[in-house]
Amino acid sequence: MGDLNRLPSGTVASRQEYDADGAHENQLLAVRLGVATSLFYSLRCKHRQTADHSLRVALGCSVWADRLQLPAELRDRLEVAALLHDIGNIATPDRVLKKPGHLSNDERLIMDQAPDVACEILAGCCSDEGLLDILRYSRHWYSGGNGSGQVQGDDLPLGARMLAIVESFDSMTTDQVYRRAFSQERAVAELFQCAGNQFDPDLVRDYAALLENRPELMYASAARRWLQDLQGDSSNRFWSAAPEKTGAAAGERQTRQLLFHQHLLDTMCDGVVAIDGEGVITHWNYAFERMTNIAADAMIGQVWSDSLIRWDDARASSGDVASLSKCLTTGGQTRRRMRMGLPDGKEVPVKVNFIPILGEENRVQGALAIINDISQEESLEQKVQSLHVKATRDGLTGVANRAEFDRALGDVVEFAAAGKGPASLILCDIDRFKSVNDNYGHQAGDDALISFSSVLVRHSRDGDLVARYGGEEFALLCPGCDNATAAKRAETIRSDLERITQPSLANKCITASFGVTEYQSGDTESTIVARADRALYKAKENGRNRVVQLGSGLREPVESVSERSKGWFQWLLTPSKSDQVTAKLVTRAPVEMVIEKLRGFIADHNAEILKVKDQQLELRLDVRTSLHGRRNADGVSAFHLLVNLGERQVPTGPHGGASQLMETVIDASVSPWRSRDRRNREVKGACRNVVASLKSYLMADYAQRP
């Protein structure tokens, strides 16, 4: 068990996806798979998202195998098996594979047959039983609890147990049609929750430790091994094949046009969906992503279906509605006022316009769906975007200044705390900025700041706020954006910035480090900024020019106003006998990881450590008590937090593993520091807020609610 007297440094950093261009990806596949590359290309033609998922899983397995120092032969088997583990989806009908929603029982049964189909496909060209066993048993549960046969526990091949963990982690941290991507920490918590039942508990702990240690280098290091270690000097042929000058210039012009059109669609306030002649979605812009709460990454490549969006027009006669099929069939434009159903059950009035895309001889090649929100209610994103009412700007860069950022951050935190949606913060800092001023002068430093701010503005979306936080540090405030999406956006900005030459720096490039976090239960303006700043510091510690995300993004259900009023009235009638709030939390994360999370909680809340004894920790922290009033009238009171850590064995049923699965139990107690604070009728709500924040930081569940 860990010792609270040695609170270790470090935090859980984020995984950054390996984002290679198509040609580089093809090179990696050709090196790793050889003649079997055609199998992977077939899968990519069938369903690009599944192929991309397989490549990420293979790279992740490669790095993990290197950490475990597995024999080269086993590592090769694992990498190839991971690349082809979903090859069986070639036989899956499109109506199931591309279905925009949850699968029925029959459809799930079809998907469950894919691993067996993959083994049949590979058995025809592969005689390595070890590789086939990895595929064959990768869907088997560690405890055998899914009725997957007699092979379970440590009798399962090591590669199969590793593949199951990495595959599940990547699925959870990738946007799907039916849900948004999980944050890294939430995905790790889910792995621990299933450890001992679905996954090998020892391997889950080791994989969590791998994610703790510079995960931003994971995929790049695996790619270097594939191209260099496996192929040697011949791997450089990708870079030596230069196209003809005229062809390169034409390709560059085409790329610029595509980027312009992409940026134009993404910055439009109206929802825009591009659909080809077969009804397949090729573009889903940010405005429509925000309207529907369906991620673009999950929809590209899917077949458009009217069931995706619940259209409702009671005034229209039967069949007289705006529809894609009518547009593609007749080649005519369709337009109508509709009501669009949202995931939360609400409806929004919209204008729907399907515009045909005509090619040669006026043949219909596709359509554009343009959806305009015509409701008069101003969203929070629009309020943040309309900051010019009171806004002040930074004199050098033209973006919002620190005071305006603080005001907007308060609005966004209130928005997220009310349960209206996610909200994320990106803090970024130019790397080694002092050397820029020292070597090139302050004017060159100013030019670098202006260039960096312009990159941030170019990548901002409707409702975002770009602000100069101080010196060379900038902030990007993203309401309606979760942790995983914000991390991907930060990686795009980082990659773009490192390729832009700076004329005032002798045409050299600058780089920046990024810290990303999302609002979670119990957060205030100060805690969300402190957590993003910790992520930024870790990115710099890990070598700069990195993106690191922190925070689980877990949020408690928000009580209704009537429930709160009932609670206050009850307090007036019957004074509370105790102002103390207690809760028992439980998590499958090992106690060492829980201690590290506690360290982050202490740092972000600026708490004072009063006493540490064995597994008991006493803290003093200041908390806002007026949780639902105006921020300028909020009161801050001191609270006493007592935390006890313990471990207990978890019954997991029969399996072949020798290790015993343990879970960490946290007993938390919060009470006012001063007796006069007990007269504050909101003090109990503030205590519960502290417990909710602690639960979010520790990625725990309630064993006993406060």
Q: Which residue has the tokens 């159903």?
A: 341
d(CA 547, CA 405): 21
Q: How far apart are CA 421 and CA 553, in angstroms?
A: 11
120 as an active site residue: the answer is: no
Tell me the three state secondary structure of residue 658. coil
Instruction: Decide the pairing of beta strands 364-373 and 271-276.
Output: antiparallel
Token pair recorded at residue 409: 């951050």
Dihedral sign for Cα 358, 362, 364, 369, please. positive
Residue type, 592: E
| Tokens found for residue 526 | 């100060």
Interaxial angle between packed helices 37-46 and 48-67, expressed in degrees from 0 to 180 and rounded to the nearest 10: 130
Among 639, 633, 642, which residue's Cα sits nearest to residue 686? 639
User: How far apart are the C-alpha atoms of 46 and 263, rounded to whole Å?
Assistant: 28
Measured in residues, the chain has a length of 706
Choosing from 472, 473, 518, 596, which is the catalytic residue?
472
Which sign does the torsion angle of CA 447, 453, 454, 459 carry? positive
Which of 183, 169, 158, 189 minimizes the C-alpha distance to 74? Answer: 158
Contact 599, 609 (CB under 8 A): no
Tokens linked to 487 = 């991390």
The CA distance from 112 to 399, in Å, is 51
- Measure the CA–CA gap between 512 and 277, rounded to whole angstroms: 42
Q: Which residues are catalytic?
A: 472
